[in-house]
Chains A and B, each alone.
Chain A
Amino acid sequence: MVDQDVGPNAGPPRAHAAILLLSVLVVATCGLIYELLAGTLASYLLGDSVTQFSTVIGCYLFAMGGGSFLSRYVRRDELGAFIRVEIMIAALGGWSAAGLFMAFPLAADFRVLLYALVLAIGALVGLEIPLLIRILQHRFGFRELVSNVLTYDYVGALIASLAFPLLLVPHLGMIRTGMVFGLANVAVAIALLLVLRGTRAVAADLVAAGLVGASLIVGLTMAERIQRWSEIAYYGEGVIHSRTTPYQRIVLTRRGADLRLYLNGNLQFSSRDEYRYHEALVWPVLGRVAHPARVLVLGGGDGLAAREILRDDRVRHVQLVDLDPEMTRMFRDTPQLAALNHHSLSSPRMTVTNADAFRWVRAASGPYDAVIVDFPDPTEYSLGKLYTESFYREVARLLAPDGVMVVQSTSPLVAPRSFWTVATTLEAAGLTTRGYHAYVPSFGEWGYTLAGHGQPALIEAAHLPAGLRFLNAVSEPLMFDFPPDMARRVTPVNRLDNQALVRSFAEEWAKYDG
């Protein structure tokens, strides 16, 4: 049968055998890569990596078994069947990562799609080796044949399993890895077709292989854009900038005039109403300090709180401490973003330090006349440390005797227990407090806590500059009024070794989100 296909004059049979054996190596490598890609992607997108990996691998192996079984229905022209299988694998496997990425935000049930793809690729890969064995059975003795095929198969698996984590994912990323191995499948198909040129009609298959190969090459060049596009679908608005730093994924989107910043998928501000948030964060403090010459900002790498602070001519020096150098660089050097914060991060009055504030405060020395504490919400135990009694004691040490500080304290409406935990904790650190809240449409009802060393300034009226968009002498005092649904309640102190805040925060928001 094989001799019919290849023919004695189609070239030296040994050379074909070598090409075919080499293709065992390639297809084995590709097969395992697709499996690893599906497993990694599933755990990346769905979480719970152990489950994802084991179910993906299980389905894949099962489908391979199915493919092997189906190979018995290929009655003639194994070589042709093998070549077509290669082309199909190239298309499905090559595009698998890109396809899953793009489908994730759109698909109603991502899992159905994922497992359908895994089953399809697995079944096709399962067809490969039985077909090859049948093609090669006249070239080698049975013993030699099985040994050869299995050797190349396992060597291919080894190559794939080492290269995937060490080389491919770090250097190519998942989307490109899929495409590169899709091209390898295409190459096997094309190489065989070229060798067989004289003996059979190959034109249709060549065209198909060429088309799939071309699509993969185009895909390779567009991998970056595909990744971005998949995020566009996720955020529902245009992604104009995105970057993965060692600390977080920073995504900036724009719809019309509205710029939005997301850190790890959580909204940080919308340019439409951030002035409300930042005026309410900064001015109740600055308006209550007689001489705010030195101001400390902890967090706030977007430079927006700093913008408000620098409007005050009494301020001589702002020290800003933010974890992520990428974040502060982006908001200093991207024209659009620097325009939003009025170039606060490159002001001569500004010093930016990139450090973990939890460590920085322990080594720093004050005094600061005003301290603005603007950290992400305590969604994680690590972030929760920035809301503890120990941390506030260090900040209190840095705060001048008549200084005032403010802490962004999540929503008193959604999470009243968490909101008041911040006040309880500041008080445990020896400070007096006063909570207030403001309405910021993109966040909802938002809360802040003023704190100081017991000076009367906290309860006095603030001196506000003219020209603010949100606060004036009438609206500012209203923020300190808490209706019953947000009223103060008894809460524990948030300590490093109990992380009461992280726990209540998770509970209250989960209840609110349903």
Chain B
Amino acid sequence: MTAEVSRRAVLAGGAALGLAACSPATAAPYPGALLGADVRRGHRLRDAKGQSAFPPPSGAEERIPLVIAGGGVAGLAAGWRLAEAGFGDFALLELENEAGGNARGGGNAVTQFPWGAHYLPVPNREARGLIHMLRGFGMITGEDASGAPIYDPYHLCADLEERLLWRGTWQEGLYPASGLGAADIAQHDRFNAAMEHFRAAVGTDGRPAFASPSALSSRDPAFAALDGQSFAAWLDAQGFTSGPLRAHLRYCCRDDYGTEPDGVSAWAGIHYFAGRRGWAAGGAGQSELTWPEGNARLARLIAARLHPQIRPSHSVVRVVRDGDDVVIDTLDHLAGTIRRIRAGAVILAIPDFVARHVAPDFVGHAGFSYAPWVVANVAVSRQPWGAGVPLAWDNVSAGSETLGYVVATHQTQSAPDGPSVLTWYNALSVGDPAVQRRMMLRRSLGEWQKIIAADLLTMNPELDGAIERIDVWRWGHAMVQPVPGFRADPARVVARAGQGAGPVFRAHSDLSGLSLFEEAHYLGLAAAEGALRHLGRPVESLL
């Protein structure tokens, strides 16, 4: 995952750690561990530059009709689509010990918790494949008279969903409800009306202006033009200058894209608000689906079904074409051996910055930029509260640069107090991502713990003495950034156009430019259907 990190940065980080060990100021104040994608495994890929650094393949060449490289949501969704079509003759190769990618989770004696993605908005009507899968998992239990899916309430985010620490008091919702001037209120109303307009808008091609998955959005130039400028510039041009409004929109951009409003295309910024038309019975359309372990719930449900096909701790190190076939070299990290697989088709569900190294014949361009994130799971002996409305699922402070915390026991616990785990999020969105990434890796566990504890205690001083453990996960390339022009980026256009051809199909959320579950899922399904067709297996599309 962090294959792009330079060796110098790692050495510097190592030196900092070495120093940290002797200086009491950076000793870790709490128990905990510093975690992250397996940097060592990632680096072997980058440094190998193709194959030379790896031993030659050993053992007989294996023949598998279809190979999926990468077991994030996109790769898993592809596998799920194959299984759904009754096709089991494939292997899914995943670098880490466990599939899930950014949708992995952990657990302790009290609860499961997420390490990355933690929710999925109730899907839109057009997300047919996703709705089909949720029905298969029993999360959709039926349909109302209009055909809208009925969601099992256990999977919908329980009330109270969100609260904001605003001027010393927790209030319901994430937008300030008090102390705003008339102009602020008017701008906020005008902004909501504009988003409502975009939500309902349909392009000249008959498609929704902003669809989710985004691939189904209209190509109407009137909307496509929004991709050419930054969200910040668009807001300025529209006269959306209110301080509280801009602060809220900044929070939204960082929360969904890990990026500042001036680094996000106006199309992506608007998509956040206008792309959601959740389709559900009983007014649950605005809701979110969430679980203690976050989207790891979905990743694990799929992975359980694909158990025979998933090969964890297997990196794809080289993908080349050989006649009609594709030859894939895979490194078994436990055995330390390289094996060669010959396949009729391959689905590349690995991030673009890795694919560039291992499959240069199929991925060739300058590369995307990625936002680094830090996620911490904080075990507490009692739950936070504070003045104003009580603890919610998502708790955010207007006075903090961080993205706040979600409560892992929110969905499962009815005890008003007692131990829990708070999952703290921060997108390192300010300035150059490469610099932020270096700084992120250089900081010691103790330093991160202090930053995180200080942020939590500023929001909830009553947690004093209640923090028992802080584990910190560093995501070097957490999310691809939907920079201005990302929809028109030739790399994406080419990759999307190549979808039908084969034998290599691409399916990572990087290709959509929006790092979201719905996007990864859609791309996985599209790649799987393309690959099945390529292998001469007719499928009725779920898209």
Contacts and interface: CB of A to CB of B under 8 A. Distances in A.
Interface in A128-147: none
Interface stretch (A95-103, A221-229, A377-385): A377-385
Contacts of B156: 496-497
A482 interface: no
Contact of A390 (B154, B161, B419): B154
Given A44-B462, A48-B169, A357 B414 contact: yes
B462 A43 contact: yes
B465 A169 contact: yes
B412 interface: yes
B451 interface: no
Given A390-B154, A496-B158, A40 B464 contact: yes
Interface in A44-91: 44, 47-51, 53
A165 interface: yes
Interface string A260-281: 0000100000000000000000
Nearest to B407: A382
Nearest to A165: B464
A499 B418 contact: no
Contacts of B387: 47-51
B284 interface: yes
A216 to B, nearest CB: 23
A162 B419 CA distance: 23
Interface in B439-497: 457-458, 460-462, 464-465
Interface in B409-423: 412-419
Contacts of A498: 159
B159 A359 contact: no
B382 interface: yes
B415 A388 contact: no
B168 A51 contact: yes
Nearest to A53: B461
Given A50-B168, A51-B168, A385 B464 contact: no
Nearest to A375: B414
A15 interface: no
Interface string B384-404: 001110111000000000000
A54 to B, nearest CB: 8
A361 to B, nearest CB: 10
B158 A497 contact: yes
A323 B419 CA distance: 12
B461 A40 contact: yes
Interface string A357-390: 1110000000000000000000111111110111
A514 interface: no
A502 interface: yes
B160 A390 contact: no
| Most chain A beta-carbon neighbours within 10 Å: one of B158, B161, B392, B412 | B158
A360 to B, nearest CB: 10
A256 interface: no
Interface in A320-343: 323
A496 B159 contact: yes
Contacts of A16: none
Contact of B417 (A49, A51, A248, A358): A248
B465 A385 contact: no
A390 B390 contact: no
A247 interface: yes
A381 B157 CA distance: 12
Nearest to B383: A382
| Most chain A beta-carbon neighbours within 10 Å: one of B160, B419, B460 | B160
Interface in A203-251: 246-248
A495 interface: yes
A386 B158 contact: no
Interface string B366-394: 00000000000000011000111011100
A246 B109 CA distance: 15
Nearest to B413: A356
B494 to A, nearest CB: 42
A166 interface: yes
A47 B154 CA distance: 32
B117 to A, nearest CB: 20
| Most chain A beta-carbon neighbours within 10 Å: one of B160, B382, B415 | B415
A contact face: mostly helix, strand, loop, or mixed: helix
B167 to A, nearest CB: 9
B391 A246 contact: no
A49 B386 contact: yes
- Contact count band on B: 35 or more
B412 A499 contact: no
Contact of A497 (B157, B392, B457): B157
B500 interface: no
A108 to B, nearest CB: 22
B contact face: mostly helix, strand, loop, or mixed: loop
Interface string A162-173: 100110011000
A430 to B, nearest CB: 14
A427 to B, nearest CB: 16
A165 B152 CA distance: 42
B29 interface: yes
B417 A499 contact: no
Contacts of B287: 497
Nearest to B381: A246
A496 B415 contact: no
A165 B465 contact: yes
A160 B457 CA distance: 16
B419 A383 contact: no
A246 B382 CA distance: 7
B18 interface: no
B206 interface: no
Given A165-B464, A165-B465, A380 B159 contact: no
Contact of A246 (B29, B159, B419): B419
Given A359-B413, A386-B414, A389-B153, A381 B168 contact: no
B418 A247 contact: yes
Nearest to B414: A358
Contacts of B381: 246
B158 A385 contact: yes
A53 B158 CA distance: 31
A314 to B, nearest CB: 31
Given A53-B461, A380-B390, A497-B153, A247 B415 contact: yes
Contacts of B391: 381-382
Contacts of A47: 386-387
Contacts of A264: 416
Interface string A287-315: 00000000000000000000000000000
A385 B414 contact: yes
A358 B464 contact: no
B169 to A, nearest CB: 7
Interface string B41-69: 00000000000000000000000000000
Q: What are the 8 tightest A-B residue pairs by CB atom distance, in nearest-first order?
A: A48-B387, A499-B159, A358-B414, A49-B461, A50-B168, A496-B158, A380-B416, A385-B414
Given A50-B165, A246-B419, A382-B413, 9 more contacts: A43-B462, A47-B387, A48-B388, A50-B458, A248-B416, A384-B159, A390-B152, A497-B159, A499-B158
22 contacts: A40-B461, A43-B461, A44-B462, A48-B169, A49-B460, A50-B458, A51-B387, A165-B457, A323-B414, A356-B413, A382-B391, A383-B416, A386-B414, A390-B152, A496-B153, A496-B159, A497-B153, A497-B156, A497-B158, A497-B284, A498-B159, A499-B158
